Amino acid sequence: MTGFNAHGVWAIYRFEMARALRTLWQSVATPVITTSLYFVVFGGAIGSRMQSVDGVGYGSFIVPGLIMLSLLTQSISNASIGIYFPKFTGTIYELLSAPVSAMEMVLGYVGAAATKSVILGLIILATAMLFVDLPIKHPLMMLAFLVLTSIAFSLFGFIIGVWAKGFEQLNFVPALLITPLTFLGGAFYSIDMLPPVWRTVSLFNPVVYLVSGFRWSFFGQGDVGVGASLAFTFAFLLACLGVIAWIFKTGYRMKE
Partner 1 sequence: MPAILTVAGVSKTYDSGTTALSPIDLEIEKGEIFALLGPNGAGKTTLISIICGIVTPSGGTIDVMGHDAIKDFRAARRLVGLVPQELSVDMFETVLATVKFSRRLFGRSGHDAYIEQVLRDLSLWDKRHAKIMELSGGMKRRVLIAKALAHEPDILFLDEPTAGVDVSLRRDMWKLIHRLRTRGVTIILTTHYIEEAEEMADRVGVIDKGKLVLVERKTELMKRLGKREVLVSLREPLRAVPAALANWDVELADEGHSLRHSFVADGDRDGIPALLAKLRELDIDFTDLETHRSSLEDIFVDLVGRKDAA
The nearest distance, CB 35 to partner 1, in angstroms, is 28
**CA pair distance 117, 133, nearest whole angstrom:** 23
Closest contact distance (angstroms) between CB of 14 and partner 1 is 8
**Residues that bind partner 1 in the complex, under the rule CB under 8 A:** 1-3, 5-8, 10-12, 14-15, 18-19, 22, 89-91, 93-101, 251, 255-256
If the CB atoms of residues 109 and 232 are measured against partner 1, the closer one turns out to be 109
The least distance separating partner 1 from the CB of residue 150, rounded to whole angstroms, comes to: 24
Handedness of CA 230, 64, 168, 21 (dihedral sign): negative
Q: SS3 of 53, please?
A: strand
Instruction: Decide whether 76 or 100 has the Cβ nearer to partner 1.
Output: 100
Nearest to partner 1 of 95, 237 (CB atom): 95
Shortest spacing between CB 82 and partner 1, in angstroms: 12
Per-residue b or e along 161-177, where b marks 16 or more CB atoms closer than 10 Å to that residue's CB: bbbbeeeeebeebbeee
| Min dist. Cβ of residue 79 to partner 1 (A) | 18
User: What sign does the dihedral 161-166-171-173 (CA atoms) show?
Assistant: negative
What string of DSSP letters covers 66-130? Answer: HHHHHHHHHHHHHHHHHHHHHHHHSTHHHHHHSS--HHHHHHHHHHHHHHHHHHHHHHHHHHHHH
Nearer to partner 1, 15 or 183 (CB): 15
Tell the smallest beta-carbon distance from residue 131 to partner 1 (Å): 35
58 within 8 A of 120, measured Cβ to Cβ? no
Query: Would you say 2 or 51 has its CB closer to partner 1?
Result: 2
Specify the residue, 105 or 159, whose C-beta has the smaller distance to partner 1.
Answer: 105
The DSSP code for 188 is: S
Output Rg (C-alpha) for the chain, integer angstroms: 19
